[in-house]
Chain A
């Protein structure tokens, strides 16, 4: 079953640990501007949303890459950059609708989430579980169940009234 890096922004506490562990794991330094994940924050409104590559089914990055340097990893489903082919044209950065691909502040290389080969480090460190690595169907069932609670509450009330 395909797993998905699932983001539950309501649970995010904005601590940016995902950014620092991402750069520490991949680049061996702590530097959020070199991380593949980033928390978009509206500090004075209290809104925090982790943003990362969605590993799209129809990836625009793959389509626009003139060098065919972006390919899917069959094992994890992650879109991976082949740096031997990449010429750094940055078309992928421009076309991604989520800002899922960023530029390494130090080397100028394009960076994107590779799901750490199937064990995302950010998920491991995310204490509030705003980041989870789940089976695609689990996510769907979980959401349906949450939505169904409204009905189930209503039915319980009706039963209690009888």
Chain B
């Protein structure tokens, strides 16, 4: 083979990779300029709603859609304005994609009628979006991002370089510091799993959660036998699992999503003779896709979600009934969170319209109102945000897969 052909091929392969990573979407924008006394107000919703992420993305999107529909039915802003949800998908080739998310946010920013947005679902997508919403002053509430670096510490500062003093990013779920801590407590104290092997998918969310679990697990007296990172699009985990089996851990911990390997690893544990070893993970493997991909091996897996189990919560009953009536299906683990996020934004927009004398408010007005949210009654409890944009309402749910279905083991309240 001639070297020139090799180098040419390399260039082409790179070009193809770049092309595969890029995808653009565009929507027409009908704008209502600031100051108008009627028109359309939009809430942007950016979630992964196709491919492997769809099983969790679509019920989440439905939550936001329900909130918007209810607001219109109840006479949004005195009936003068019409509220609309602008729905975009950030999955490319079946998987959440930061570039696609950033592109979607640019679409929202370019549309003057969009006053706030719900999303994204995944932490690595949030990393690409926060600098854009921070720059544009567009308020953004995520139903499900749990990575600590999005709101805390130097990582968060780097995301807010355009306006370091203002924060436009909020979330209604508990962050990974709390989730990882809870998972470590579950492993050590509840189940007495003293030896763990940790795997993560090397993404923002997965590695972040695994690192917190790693540190907390050691602190509680557990032994971490190893911590490995898998690579994107990997399908063969037999070598890794053979190695793990030889160490005979009490539990295998996975930090990541079903779509990034969480389901396949669990399935292949049977092939190397680890069918009896428990499997523990965070909210990334709490989607229904996990049971499909892991097959019968899904049984015996445990996972938390950074949300209460809406189906069991008395405060969520009205929401759950309305959701079932509207979408003819069960609520997803993050439906209530997305509903709450949209509700907070709708309330903030309504207040801004009233304060503006019934005229179309600015994004800054809406952002100010969202940041001031406190004691907001929602299906998932009293919501509020601290200075970093984190929720003041810390609830996690621990699930176990049994007979191919997730059952609630416990609801855990954490101190913020």
The judgment on whether A and B are partners is no
A interface residue numbers (CB < 8 A to B): none
B interface residue numbers (CB < 8 A to A): none
